Amino acid sequence: MTTQTSPQHPPPLCFHYHGKPLHVQHHQGEWWLHSGDVLAVIGRRLGSRIQQLLAAEPTHENTPKTEVTKEYWPATALLRALRRSNKPLARQLRDWLNRQLLPALEQLPPTAPRWEQALALAAEAGVQVSHAVLQAVLTQGARWQHSHWLLTLDYTPDHPLRHAHGRLLGLNSSATPLQALAQQIATPPGISADNGELLGLAAACHQRLHSRLSRQLLRDGQGQHRPA
């Protein structure tokens, strides 16, 4: 089973400001806003001014460069930059952050995004596995025991339904007892392997048999030289 989510950070929360998405990430004990989303909200001219003010922040150069700090701005620093602008767009965004977004975020448990992600992925994985087992037993007869799948999961927090997505991919593989492997290879139609794969399998078997026989001969020779 594979997942397509980052192991280091939970997925960002997504809010909408005047119909435009604004992603928010909790990092290093504070809330960070996606810089690209903020620039799309306030426009190019005001955005350039805000970027200059943020670059002049005393803590800007000392902030460790991580995936979050490269793409997000800390909410506290952004608020300070917005206060230094007299533009209406800056004042409106500042009021929305102070009165609506940040108070709402402070009421969330610290692990809310991670819990939401984990529960959603676990539920989706259970649904997909149950569906696969049901279909295999009903449609494949006795061959259901040899069915293999790859389960891929993805979590999209800004999806309208805020749910995990899952998909099962059938793998063209089977399970064969060791005793029946040689017979399956030798008799038609055999196994779906090209000449190179069969040659590699034969070489590995020959090497393993040679090693085993060599150890057996060594043990037999040592036994013959022991005193009665």
Q: In a 10 Å sphere around its CB, with 0-12 CB exposed, 13-18 middle and 19+ buried, how is residue 73 labelled? A: buried
Q: Over the stretch 112-124, which tens digit does the pLDDT of each residue have?
A: 566 667 777 787 8
State which residues of the chain have pLDDT below 50.
1-7
| pLDDT value at residue 75 | 92
| pLDDT value at residue 5 | 42
Cβ-contact 30, 67 below 8 angstroms: no
Left if phi > 0, otherwise alpha if psi is -120 to 50, otherwise beta: which for 29? Answer: left
| pLDDT value at residue 6 | 41
The whole-model pTM stands at 0.45
CA angle, corner 102, sides to 99 and 105, nearest 5?
Answer: 130
